[in-house]
Structure formats: structure tokens, C-alpha cells
Amino acid sequence: MQRVGGKNPINLTKDSNVDNMQPAFSPDGRRIAFRSERDGGGIFIMGATGEDVRRLTDFGYNPAWSPDGNELVCSTAWFPFANSRLSNNQSQLYRINVSTGEKRLVRTNRADAVQAHWSPHGQRLAFWGLREGNRDIWTIPASGGQAIPVTNDAAIDWNPVWSPDGKYLYFSSDRAGTMNLWRVPIDEISGKLLGTLEPVTTPSLDSGFMSFSPDGKRLLYVQQTFTWSTFKVAFDPSRETIVGQPLLMPDGLQRSDLSPDGRWLAFFRLDRKQEDIFIIGSDGKGLRQLTDDIYKDRQPRWSPDGKTIAFFSNRGGNYQVWTIHPDGSGLSATYFRA
């Protein structure tokens, strides 16, 4: 915790030797709900200065308070990054009574829901989830029911947050090229959209995890900066030791895979609006781009004979395995039968 305008952060969980994350202040500012990995993990509550820690659930992530402070809503699955969730990682929402610990499933027609946020008058919940490989946003009645879509496109949309007056739903999206903030006018009671999406541009290339001040005059967000570096180092297999100093490879090599003959690295870029497949020589020369389109192409892997590169992509609508030759030819889908 750190006072607004202050410079001295206070560790509220200094007595815990496991991860504690996703803190959320209660509406009255007297309590903090958070996810902790202690004792098997779950949602915990403590006083605003770290006292009286108690377990509320043995599951759940991203707790959010109801406006009256009597309940929390949480999801059953976590996401490290919005673009890293897979379609088999489905999540449900639960409402938790803070006093009794009673848990109630929030039933909806969506198979996946994470990072829910309560509307300011307690009438609806906003959340995001996976739909055919895309990340989209919906709202539902707080008691559960039919989900009303807010977005339905190929952009990565996540982190929905209601404005304190309930007139807008804010969210993070990469629809303009970088991960920035957007909003849409909305009817808090019905979930009906009352206008078109509007950019709320910040001076950040990656904005998310936002929250409002109670009076709605200030908006807080997290700027995330990711850097990736790949190194090459000689290795003596007989002595099982590294030989010499690591050599830094060119920037942008992410999740790379070495060809069987050791001459090429296949990789994809996460720092681009387009997620495409590349190869480069293991000496850092000969960069070649194999795909160049709007689809998300990820995790390339070489075949044992080095003649084909497999990767997964949403270019067919859903994520599935595709293959391509190292010269960029022969792009084709690979279908599996269960």
C-alpha cells in the first residue's frame, strides 16, 4: 500500500513467503480482498493495513467488490496476459458473501468469463472471455442470465471497468494497433450500448488494470513494458558446462525453436499488432518473414527433418495447427480428429 502522493510503499503481506496479488479495496476503504497462494491458494481478506487476514475461498482470482461491500465476485481461472489464454482454459464467475463465505455460481450462456467488475449501482457485471479464439467483453445481470456483447471482433479486448456514474464501460484493447484504453456509452440496467466505441488514448504502448477514483475524476492504469532477449552460448556436452560468454542475438526473437541441423531459429513476435512467424540464422543473419497478415501466428516448431515448421494460428476461425516450409511456401492447415 502507498498513500496517494506518498513515496513509501508498505508491504502488507510481509509475513507470507508465497505470491499475494490482485488486491482490491472495499468501497469503504477499510478492507482489502486479494488472491494468495498460501495454504493451497484462494481469495483472502485483510484490514486496510494488513491486519486480520482470513480465508474467504479455496479458489478464485481477480476479486471485485459489490458496491455495498457485502459481496465479492471472482473467476475460477487466471490469466498472466490477455493474449495468452487458450480456449480450453474456461472459467466461471462466483459471487461470495463476505460475512458468511457463501458461494453462488453466476450462471450465464457464456462458457468463459474472467476479470469481472460490478456496475456502480450493483445491477450488472462486466467481464471478458474467449469466443472462437478472440477476446471479447460482455455484461450480464448481477444475478446471472443472458450475456449482452460489448465487443465482437478480432481485437484483444479485456479489463472492463464501469465509470463511477454507470454511464460508460471502459476497457483495454489493441484495436488501434497498441494496447490502449477505450470506452462505450452503456445503459447500466439493460446492458444496451448507447453509442460507438471511443478511444481514451494514454501515452502508453500497453495500458491495462485500470481503476477510477470514487468521484470519477481520476483514472489509474498500469503501463506494461515487455522486453525479450535471446542469447546463444557454446556448451561442452562431455563436461556439461558452458564455454565462453553468452552472445546476444538480434532483438525480437521470442519463443524461438532451433532447427534440427542447428542452422536456423524459428520464432514469432509478440511486440507487433500482427503476430507473424520468422526464421533467422543461428548466427543472427538471414532474417526471413514467413507469414504477413492479420492472423495470430504463434509458437513455431520444426519438424524432425527440418523441412516443415508447425505453428498454431486463428487464421481458420479457431486456433489450430498450421504448417509452412522454411522458404514461406506450402502454408496449410493440419486437422486432428478426436
Task: Residue 154: give its domain's CATH number.
Answer: 2.120.10.30
The Cβ of residue 80 has, within 10 Å, a number of other Cβ atoms equal to: 7
Query: What is the spatial distance between Cα 312 and Cα 133, in angstroms, rounded to a whole number?
Result: 11
Query: How far is it, in rounded angstroms, from Cα 188 to Cα 171?
Result: 15
| Three cell numbers written together for 322 | 498450421
Q: Are residues 144 and 258 in the same domain?
A: no
Residue 206 lies in a domain: yes
Judge whether 39 lies within some domain: no
pLDDT value of position 274: 77
Last residue of a domain, one of 200, 223, 246: 223
Indicate if 173 and 256 belong to the same structural domain: no
Within 13 Å and on the Cβ side, how many CA atoms surround 267? 24
* One domain for residues 126 and 204: yes
Residues of the chain with pLDDT under 50: 338
Residue 30 lies in a domain: no
Q: Are 65 and 26 in contact (CB under 8 A)?
A: yes
What CA–CA distance (Å, rounded) separates 321 from 312?
Answer: 4
Does residue 105 belong to any structural domain of this protein?
A: yes
What local confidence, expressed as pLDDT, does residue 338 receive?
A: 41
Residue 47 maps to a domain? no
pLDDT score for 255: 73
d(CA 228, CA 219): 29
Shared domain for 204 and 66, answered yes or no, is yes
The span from the CA of 60 to the CA of 53, in Å, is 17
Do 99 and 215 share a domain, yes or no?
Answer: yes
Under a CB-based contact definition with an 8 Å cutoff, are residues 282 and 264 in contact?
yes
Residue 265 lies in a domain: yes
97 and 182 share one domain: yes
Number of domains the chain is built from: 2
Give tens-digit pLDDT for 262-278. Answer: 999 999 876 556 789 99
Claim to verify: residue 273 and residue 178 sit in the same structural domain: no
Q: Are 35 and 46 in contact (CB under 8 A)?
A: no
Structural domain range at position 180 = 59-223
Query: Which contacts (CB < 8 Å, 24+ apart) does range 266-275 have?
Result: 266/300, 266/301, 266/302, 266/309, 266/326, 267/230, 267/300, 268/297, 268/298, 268/299, 268/300, 268/311, 270/83, 270/226, 270/228, 271/226, 271/228, 273/174, 273/177, 273/178
Whole-number pLDDT of residue 271: 57
* 6 occurs within a structural domain: no
Domain boundary among 206, 223, 240: 223
Determine the Cα–Cα distance for residues 31 and 54; give it in Å rounded to an integer: 11
Q: Which of 197, 223, 249 is the last residue of a domain?
A: 223
Helix (H, G, I), strand (E, B) or coil at 82: helix
32 lies in a domain? Answer: no
